[in-house]
Amino acid sequence: MTGTLADRVIFITGARSGIGRATADAARRAGAHVVGADIDGLETMADLDLALALDVSDPDAMTAAVEQILKTFGRIDGLVTCAGLSLTGSATDMALDDWHKALAVNLTGTMLAARAVLPAMVAAGNGAIVTLASIYGMTGSPGNTPYNVTKGGVLQLTRSLAADYGAAGIRVNTISPGFIETPMTTMLQGESPMRSAFINMHLLKRAGRAEEVAKTAIFLLSDDASFITGANIPVDGGFSAAQVILV
Ligand code: NAP
């Protein structure tokens, strides 16, 4: 196969939907063998090289999934952690279950995926991990405590992984998307004052596409990013670059 990821084995969580699905498609176009995992929807990943039903917050299931990938392909070259949930609320009005669930899926799930693939990557002496944080990992947003906190945690997890495994040849970077049109953001579909205000906070004055995030993930997985690790790349139409005054 040709392409920037020719013959690499890339494991993508949250691969049935949105950014994960777009990343799976882009990785295949780049020549990779793509393993997709998601909590549900195996049939929507049937075109991938391997599709797995996986709850990323389940440590035993994560271990079994990575064992299956290694048994099938013999190695794992890249990981992209797209599985995630958007759970809302402030400290006093959020459901405690939502807090625990956001931590379990968004933060612990990302850590478990990295922890499961790292031994094989370290043994091979190379590998690339791309995590998905958010603009809300860098700034706060009202009524969004579980999500904000877990995405801030993903940023620090990414830096910690980069610090611990750089000497072994493993690169670990994060992407912080702005408003991307995916099933996660259906509440912002259709014209509404909230959608207009949110879009206006992005300097490019539009929402992003999952494919635009996927292209950045492919770059970070590839040798084109060979001296980049511990980085946070905003793919946010300029959201994090300026504070737009809404009038
Ligand atoms: P999406 O379309 O909802 O895709 C996320 C996928 O992860 C869904 O298929 C979801 O399944 C799955 N998932 C949820 N819990 C899981 C679990 N325990 N184990 C395995 N899979 C699980 O969302 P997206 O917009 O592509 O988001 C991808 C990543 O980018 C997320 O981490 C998100 O926080 C981040 N992000 C997105 C945006 C945006 O504007 N879209 C902005 C910033 C960051 P269900 O549908 O059943 O929940």
- Rounded Cα distance, 205 and 138, in Å: 20
Q: How far is CA 229 from the centre of its chain?
A: 16
For residue 232, the surrounding DSSP H or E stretch is strand 232-235
Tokens representing 39 are: 């909590």
Position 17 scores a pLDDT of 97
Q: Compute, in angstroms, the gap from residue 14 CA to the centroid of ligand 1.
A: 6
Position 2 scores a pLDDT of 73
- Rounded Cα distance, 159 and 141, in Å: 22
Q: Compute, in angstroms, the gap from residue 167 CA to the centroid of ligand 1.
A: 31
DSSP lists the bridge partners of residue 131 as 81, 174
CA 219, 58, 153, 141 torsion: positive or negative? positive
What domain range is 50 assigned to? 9-235
Residue nearest to atom 48 of ligand 1 (CA): 85
Residue nearest to atom 41 of ligand 1 (CA): 180
Residue 95 included in any domain? yes
Taking 50 as the pLDDT cut, the residues of the chain under it are: none
All residues at 6 or more sequence positions from 115 whose CB lies less than 8 Å from its CB, including other chains: 62
Q: Compute, in angstroms, the gap from residue 83 CA to the centroid of ligand 1.
A: 5
Position 199 scores a pLDDT of 97
Atom of ligand 1 nearest to the CA of 106: 32
- Rounded Cα distance, 243 and 120, in Å: 43
For ligand 1, residues with CB inside 6 Å are 13-14, 16-20, 38-40, 54-57, 82-85, 105, 109, 132, 134, 177, 179-180, 182-185
Position 43 scores a pLDDT of 95
Atom of ligand 1 nearest to the CA of 81: 32
Residue 195 included in any domain? yes
Report pLDDT digits (tens) over 210-222: 999 999 999 999 9
Residue 199 included in any domain? yes
Residue nearest to atom 19 of ligand 1 (CA): 55
Residue 2 included in any domain? no
Position 194 scores a pLDDT of 94
Residue 184 included in any domain? yes
16: CATH: 3.40.50.720
Q: Annotated active-site positions, please?
A: 147
Q: Do residues 138 and 235 make contact, with C-beta atoms less than 8 angstroms apart?
A: no
Residue 3 included in any domain? no
Position 26 scores a pLDDT of 98
Number of domains in the chain: 1
* Residue at token pair 């995916």: 182
- Rounded Cα distance, 55 and 39, in Å: 5
